[in-house]
């Protein structure tokens, strides 16, 4: 063997090596967490390039997050050098964008199509549902959007959905879906689900196009295969092509043989069922691909035996699974530390204290720690205490930069400049900042567009010329000014100005910045909005600089011109990938996660986001029934099984030390709620957990109920961290400030963050003073009507 190949194979075990070197038929690698699946995939790519003479351009690898894609590319580049750049390594979404840009003409799209994320989608669904006169209480936009998304994940077209609709809801969804698709088309836009569905449709409709990709990509590799949905499964099949060639007549120009497919996954880590992911794809891989070879990996290289024992114990409670036992050579390691906190603030103080102590001991740096929680809204308490203690941290997901209102407004302007037909963006900025184009004028324009069967943008121009009926002369003037403004900005694009310059011009000429500046004196939020916009300008500037260096290296067919406005918007929409969950919000924020690693910060994130990652020390928090497992899962066996897989994912992220904690009381609605211990905690064998602080027994604690003092003296072993906190004047007292906001002034459309229900959007408001209430759409937590007086545990964003 030559030395290079030895280097590629030497630090692999026998099964891993077999997977890396396997040639020919489809290959499935199934294995538990931390057994080297991702390593095998990366190594296999290096091996293909280095040993099997495969050209980088013939390789397509699909990962679950942008971060994972970047990492994989880097690792391969380390092994084989710069030519790794010509590979396609991306998420399903990014890959489809690339293909669709290239084939835009074929599928009847403008190549400058916009990508609508979850928020855009919801807005458009709201507009469509209103047009269809659907009662928003009975058919909330969010519900409609979710059902529509499910249909797309199943590759059901509007026509099929209409035909198959069996009940009232399904019929409504089909109506919305049909109208929604028509709107998207007019706007030359695709939503995230469309990216996949349209690519599949194209490959199925145009055999020559499909054949081009099959000839081109001789190797398709997919990580986290257990979380693919039906549309993604079909996409892979179409790309690989096994099925189609069997039917080809022998005399016909037989296409290329099927590409080599290699997928890796772990059915126990399937945590995206709510997005249509199905482990069927992994379980029935051998049926889908009869020639398939399956390789099992069982040795774990990530965690200690103690951590694996806990993971095995929890996941083994799930029925209908293939039993596999992970083992490791790395020894027992430290016991798992359990902690029962009085409340969520006490829990956060404990976590902060432990991190502090472990860092002081010199064994660990901040970036070695990850704190996991079930839903994003749980991050706030940790943030507060980390800030007060001066612990550097970073939150992945949550209210992400690209979701902030001002950032979205600014981007909407850019999107309209790149694609004037982008109706959702256009309507978003129509009267932002206020310029006298009210709802009524907007409605007139929309009606006119419907009637004349022209786009909203065209109708807007007609309005500016005074051709739209019912518009008063003031509105006409305002519309004309707006059109003129857009045209003047568009000139900058034509002229080839840099994106940062265009963005500056947008912020200045629209008066957006001036408006915030005027208000910034009174409202610190407006000040931070200004900061965010400055940040966005920086992002644009860096993008242009990056593009200048990338231009020569990237193979860029199909991609928009590097450095162009389209390229910028595309990157932004994929980084801010709307892959967010209803309430867990996995946010695959590549940049954020990346930075957290290098710069010595503790990482805070949901368990969903943590998939595929590993950290020396992991804190699993909020292990309470009703929190984790989620309330919704308690009475639903299928959902409970998914929560259990989520627990398995959480535990198996830890390399050396694992902490699991819960709180006796956790505030919800500004009211403390007592949650019992998570059933998953009970499933972990006592032998591997050392309780740093247990639930006080009724006798021992006296009648005063749980309190810090009553249990403090019981163990002293781990209290150095608490002592450290005390020394800095820290107590685990609840942080109140934001809870005591007086009656909040809210308007429809405002975004809020609720302690318990997370992010929401105000739908309507009613009443004033003590009777003020707001109906708020909290996504999967439901649409709720809340009182606005008193200590509402909610902030306006
Ligand atoms: P997950 O299911 O969580 O995605 P995985 O199966 O993809 O896990 P990897 O992330 O590839 O596992 O590997 C886990 C850890 O073990 C990594 O740090 C990896 O470098 C290491 N590892 C894998 N195989 C070996 C090996 N043969 N020798 C040494 N270390 C290994
Ligand atoms: Mg992996």
Confidence of residue 492 (pLDDT cuts 50, 70, 90): very high
| Whether 569 and 598 share a structural domain | no
Q: With respect to residue 479, please indicate whether it lies within any of the assigned structural domains.
A: yes
ipTM: 0.99
- Averaged over 316-332, what is the pLDDT? 88
66 or 609: whose pLDDT is higher? 609
Q: With respect to residue 485, please indicate whether it lies within any of the assigned structural domains.
A: yes
Beta bridge partners of 62: 90, 222
Q: With respect to residue 712, please indicate whether it lies within any of the assigned structural domains.
A: no
Give the rounded percent of residues in the chain with a pLDDT score beyond 70. Answer: 82
Ligand 1 pocket mutation, candidates 13, 33, 65, 302, criterion most atoms within 8 A of CB:
302
Q: Quote the distance between the C-alpha of residue 725 and its chain's center.
A: 34
Q: Which of 117, 120, 223, 268 is catalytic?
A: 223
CATH code, domain with 133: 1.10.10
Q: With respect to residue 326, please indicate whether it lies within any of the assigned structural domains.
A: no
User: Of 695, 726, 756, which residue constitutes the final position of a domain?
Assistant: 695
> What lines the ligand 1 site, CB under 6 Å?
11-13, 16, 31, 33-39, 266, 269, 301-302, 612, 614
Q: With respect to residue 682, please indicate whether it lies within any of the assigned structural domains.
A: yes
| Whether 215 and 157 share a structural domain | no
pLDDT score of 729: 34
Instruction: Record the pTM.
Output: 0.74
| Whether 175 and 28 share a structural domain | no
524 pLDDT more than 60 = no
CATH code, domain with 685: 3.40.50.300
| Rg of the chain in Å (alpha carbons) | 27
| Whether 267 and 210 share a structural domain | yes
- Averaged over 745-763, what is the pLDDT? 82
Give CA–CA dist 142/121, Å, rounded.
Answer: 9
Q: With respect to residue 307, please indicate whether it lies within any of the assigned structural domains.
A: no
336 pLDDT more than 60 = yes
> What would you measure as the largest C-alpha separation in the chain, in angstroms?
88
Model confidence over 51-106: pLDDT tens digits? 999 999 999 999 988 778 888 888 888 888 888 888 999 999 999 999 999 999 89
Q: Which residue has the CA at smallest separation from atom 27 of ligand 1? A: 12
| Whether 447 and 522 share a structural domain | yes
Ligand 1 pocket mutation, candidates 14, 16, 30, 34, criterion most atoms within 8 A of CB:
34
Residues 580/332, Cβ–Cβ less than 8 Å: no
User: Of 155, 184, 213, which residue constitutes the final position of a domain?
Assistant: 184
Residue 224 bears catalytic tag = yes
Around ion ligand 2, residues with a beta carbon closer than 5 Å are: 37-38, 612
Model confidence over 407-447: pLDDT tens digits? 899 999 999 999 999 999 999 999 999 999 999 999 999 99
Give CA–CA dist 517/507, Å, rounded.
Answer: 11
| Whether 406 and 392 share a structural domain | no
664 pLDDT more than 70 = yes
CATH code, domain with 527: 1.10.486.10
| Whether 647 and 592 share a structural domain | yes
Residues 222/236, Cβ–Cβ less than 8 Å: yes
Q: With respect to residue 312, please indicate whether it lies within any of the assigned structural domains.
A: no
pLDDT score of 586: 33
User: Of 695, 721, 751, which residue constitutes the final position of a domain?
Assistant: 695
Q: With respect to residue 672, please indicate whether it lies within any of the assigned structural domains.
A: yes
pLDDT score of 745: 79
Q: Which of 16, 17, 37, 214 is catalytic?
A: 37
Cα torsion through 85, 87, 90, 96, rounded to 10:
120
| Whether 628 and 685 share a structural domain | yes
Residues 746/765, Cβ–Cβ less than 8 Å: yes
pLDDT score of 523: 61
| Whether 251 and 350 share a structural domain | no
Q: What is the mean pLDDT of the chain?
A: 83
Element (H, E) at 672: strand 671-674
- Averaged over 638-645, what is the pLDDT? 94
Domain extent, residue 164, equals 117-184
Give CA–CA dist 603/605, Å, rounded.
Answer: 6
CATH code, domain with 786: 2.40.10.170
| Whether 566 and 659 share a structural domain | no
| Whether 448 and 563 share a structural domain | yes
Give CA–CA dist 786/796, Å, rounded.
Answer: 13
Model confidence over 144-173: pLDDT tens digits? 999 999 999 999 999 999 999 999 999 999
pLDDT score of 380: 76
270 pLDDT more than 80 = yes
Q: Number of folded domains in the chain?
A: 5
| Whether 615 and 571 share a structural domain | no
pLDDT score of 776: 83
Residue 517 bears catalytic tag = no
pLDDT score of 400: 60
Model confidence over 557-604: pLDDT tens digits? 556 677 889 889 887 877 655 333 333 333 334 344 444 444 589 999
């Amino acid at each position: 063997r030559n030395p290079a190949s030895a280097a590629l194979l030497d630090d692999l075990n026998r099964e891993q090596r077999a997977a890396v070197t396997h040639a020919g038929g489809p290959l499935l690698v199934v294995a538990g967490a931390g057994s080297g699946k991702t390593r095998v995939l990366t190594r296999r790519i290096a091996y293909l390039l280095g040993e099997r003479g495969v050209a980088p351009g013939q390789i397509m690898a699909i990962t679950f997050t942008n971060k994972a894609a970047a990492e994989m590319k880097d690792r391969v580049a380390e092994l084989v050098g710069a030519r790794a750049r010509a590979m396609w390594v991306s998420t399903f979404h990014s890959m489809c964008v690339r293909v669709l840009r290239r084939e835009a003409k074929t599928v009847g799209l403008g190549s400058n199509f916009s990508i609508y994320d979850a928020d855009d989608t919801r807005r458009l669904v709201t507009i469509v549902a209103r047009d269809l006169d659907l009662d928003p209480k009975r058919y909330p936009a969010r519900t409609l959007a979710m059902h529509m998304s499910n249909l797309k994940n199943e590759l059901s077209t509007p026509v099929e959905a209409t035909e198959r609709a069996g009940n009232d809801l399904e019929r409504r969804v089909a109506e919305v879906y049909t109208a929604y698709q028509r709107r998207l088309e007019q706007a030359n836009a695709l939503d995230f689900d469309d990216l996949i569905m349209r690519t599949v449709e194209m490959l199925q409709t145009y055999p020559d196009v499909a054949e081009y990709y099959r000839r081109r990509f001789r190797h398709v590799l997919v990580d986290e295969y257990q979380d693919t949905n039906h549309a993604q499964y079909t996409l892979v099949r179409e790309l690989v092509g096994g099925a189609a060639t069997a039917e080809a007549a022998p005399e016909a120009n037989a296409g290329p043989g099927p590409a080599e497919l290699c997928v890796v996954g772990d059915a126990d880590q399937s945590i995206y069922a709510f997005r249509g992911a199905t482990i069927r794809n992994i379980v029935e891989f051998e049926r889908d691909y009869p020639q398939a070879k399956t390789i099992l990996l069982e040795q774990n290289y990530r965690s200690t035996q103690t951590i694996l024992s806990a993971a095995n114990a929890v996941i083994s409670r799930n029925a209908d699974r293939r039993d596999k036992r992970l083992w490791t050579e790395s020894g027992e390691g430290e016991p798992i530390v359990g902690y029962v906190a009085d409340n969520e603030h006490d829990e956060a103080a404990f976590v902060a204290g432990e991190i502090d102590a472990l860092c002081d001991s010199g064994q660990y740096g901040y970036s070695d720690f990850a704190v996991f929680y079930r839903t994003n809204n749980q991050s706030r308490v940790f943030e507060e205490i980390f800030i007060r203690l001066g612990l550097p941290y970073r939150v992945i997901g949550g209210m992400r930069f690209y979701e902030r209102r001002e950032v979205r407004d600014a981007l909407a302007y850019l999107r309209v400049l790149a694609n004037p037909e982008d109706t959702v963006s256009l309507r978003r900025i129509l009267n932002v900042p206020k310029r006298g184009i009210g709802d009524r004028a907007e409605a007139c324009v929309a009606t006119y567009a419907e009637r004349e069967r022209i786009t909203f943008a065209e109708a807007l121009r007609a309005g500016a010329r005074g051709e739209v009926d019912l518009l008063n002369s003031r509105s006409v003037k305002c519309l004309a000014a707006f059109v003129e403004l857009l045209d003047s900005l568009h000139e900058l694009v034509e002229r080839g100005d840099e994106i940062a310059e265009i963005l500056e011009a947008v912020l200045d000429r629209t008066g957006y910045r001036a408006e915030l500046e005027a208000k910034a004196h009174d409202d610190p939020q407006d000040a931070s909005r200004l900061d965010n916009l400055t940040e966005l300008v920086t992002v644009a500037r860096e993008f242009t600089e990056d593009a200048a260096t990338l231009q020569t290296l990237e193979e860029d067919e199909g991609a928009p011109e590097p450095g162009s406005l389209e390229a910028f918007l595309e990157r932004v929409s994929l980084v801010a990938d709307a892959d967010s969950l209803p309430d867990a919000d996995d946010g695959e924020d590549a940049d954020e996660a990346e930075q957290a690693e290098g710069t010595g910060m503790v990482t805070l994130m949901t368990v969903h986001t943590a998939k595929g990652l590993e950290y020396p020390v992991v804190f699993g928090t909020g292990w309470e029934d009703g929190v984790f497992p989620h309330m919704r899962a308690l009475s639903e066996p299928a959902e409970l099984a998914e929560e259990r897989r989520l627990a398995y994912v959480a535990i198996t992220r830890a390399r050396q030390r694992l902490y699991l904690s819960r709180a006796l009381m956790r505030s919800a609605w500004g009211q403390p709620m007592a949650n019992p211990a998570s059933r998953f905690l009970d499933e972990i064998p006592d032998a591997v957990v050392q309780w740093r602080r247990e639930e006080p027994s009724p006798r021992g604690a006296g009648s005063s109920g749980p309190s810090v003092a009553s249990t403090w003296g019981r163990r002293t072993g781990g209290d150095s961290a608490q002592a450290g906190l005390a020394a800095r004047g820290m107590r685990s007292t609840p942080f109140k400030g934001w809870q005591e906001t007086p009656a909040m002034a809210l308007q429809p459309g405002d975004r809020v963050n609720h302690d318990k229900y997370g992010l929401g959007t105000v739908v309507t408001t009613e009443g004033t003073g003590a009777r003020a209430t707001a109906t708020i759409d909290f996504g999967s937590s439901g649409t709720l009507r809340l009182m606005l007086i008193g200590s509402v545990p909610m902030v306006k964003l």
